Amino acid sequence: MPTQLDAAATLTHLAQSDPDIYQMIRSEEERQETTLEMIASENHTSPAVMEAVGSCLTNKYCEGYPTKRYYSGCTYYDAVEQLAIDRAKKLFNCQFANVQPHSGASANTAVFFALLEPGDVYASIVLSEGGHLTHGSPVNLSGKWFKPVHYPLVYDEKRPDWGHIDYDAVRALCLQHKPKLLICGYSAYSRIIDFPRFRAIADECGALLMADIAHIAGLVAAGVHPSPFPHCHVVTTTTHKTLRGPRGGLIMTNDPDLATKIDKAVFPGTQGGPLMHVIAGKAVCFGEALRPSFKDYAKQIVANAKVLAAELTAKGYGIISGGTDNHLILLDLRKTDKELTGKAAALWLEQAGIITNKNTVPKEDRTPFVTSGLRLGTPALTTRGLREPQIRQVADLIHRTLASRGDEKTIAVVRADVAELARQFPMAH
């Protein structure tokens, strides 16, 4: 099977024009081929998507929307964007879709611009418990220009819903503060989101409901996770995580008035010309996700995550909420070793060829640069074809690395084992 390294042979113009960048790309291709990608927000996209993103569509300005552009020469760009819109609407069973946001952060910013005024109150999860930078971090405009209030997870480990969203706390918070917007959807939450329950709370306190499904979009599209529609007024997502597409954003709604506000908030409100080569990649991605095989892929992502959680639990690791319903798990390293930080764990694993990320956990007592948690995901491994037997091997490789506490000899042996496992599952090109 041809691999990503073979594909690099086609970069002949780049090799001649800029050998420095060419070699950096070759080195990165080799890194991807020989390591195991377990960052929950990353994936390996298809060759078709990469061809679209690397196409001549990068050459054109198309400010505006299909048939309503500010530049001439947009006939085929209109067709590309409209196809992406139509496929997104079909994939998520919604009435309106804006495919122009450059990223998930751009999508969230546009929704804030459309629905809130500076200083307005909105509700989101405690950021250290699974939220995103754009859900109210004080260093982000979502925290600087607006007023976030935060709801927690359930802390009582004796409760069956320990580590799940505390819906009673959500309701109490919203009734107290009367937010204009209620946000659900997370970056490090491993359980099913009860969208109908969130909608009932939003209706009771008079808020609009927004779901940021950046992490679970592919699972939603495949029917593996419940859909935010028709419960949520607005839905944002990225296209590059479980959707397995290019890096980009997407905003959807069923409300025509909100759709008009969102379109204006994206352009000219927060962005200029759309990245049409990336929108073409999104269209390809949506087309791939509409195929029956994508449902099997999404089911395998979840099956792999459940096996990973079970294996690591058996090895003594603490997992927030005790398991997973989706593509990720969040380890609380304090349960295993109070001295072990997420920063150290991620570094040792990277040296062993397993790519993860440090992550905050509930009741975090370390900074976001150090953390007490480690986030692990299965989308990229599933894309490469790993199934339950290989995931058990991966769990063992993780354990051997962390148990060694950075021992160089142990890590070198694990690195060789990782490279051998990766070699058996090359990325198709």
- Would you please indicate which residues are annotated as catalytic (active-site) residues? 61, 63, 212, 238, 241, 247
Comparing CA positions, the residue from 173, 168, 195, 172 lying closest to residue 123 is 173
Phi, psi of 108 (to 5 degrees): -65, -40
CB 248 within 8 A of CB 281: yes
3-state secondary structure the chain: CCCHHHHHHHCHHHHHHCHHHHHHHHHHHHHHHHCEECCCCCCCCCHHHHHHHCCHHHHCCCCEECCEECCCCCHHHHHHHHHHHHHHHHHHCCCEEECCCCCHHHHHHHHHHHHCCCCCEEEEECHHHCCCHHHCCCCCHHHHCCEEEEECECCCCCCCCCCCECHHHHHHHHHHHCCCEEEECCCCCCCCCCHHHHHHHHHHHCCEEEEECCCCHHHHHCCCCCCCCCCCCEEEEECCCCCCCCCCEEEEECCHHHHHHHHHHHHHHHCCCCCHHHHHHHHHHHHHHCCHHHHHHHHHHHHHHHHHHHHHHHCCCEEHHHCCCCCEEEEEHHHCCCCCCHHHHHHHHHHCCEECEEECCCCCCCCCCCCCEEEEECHHHHHHCCCHHHHHHHHHHHHHHHHCCCCHHHHHHHHHHHHHHHHCCCCCC
Asked if residue 41 lies in contact with residue 187, where contact means CB atoms within 8 angstroms, the answer is: yes
C-alpha 122/C-alpha 234 separation (Å) is: 14
Residue 148, C-beta contacts closer than 8 angstroms, at least 6 positions apart:
121, 122, 123, 124, 135, 136, 142
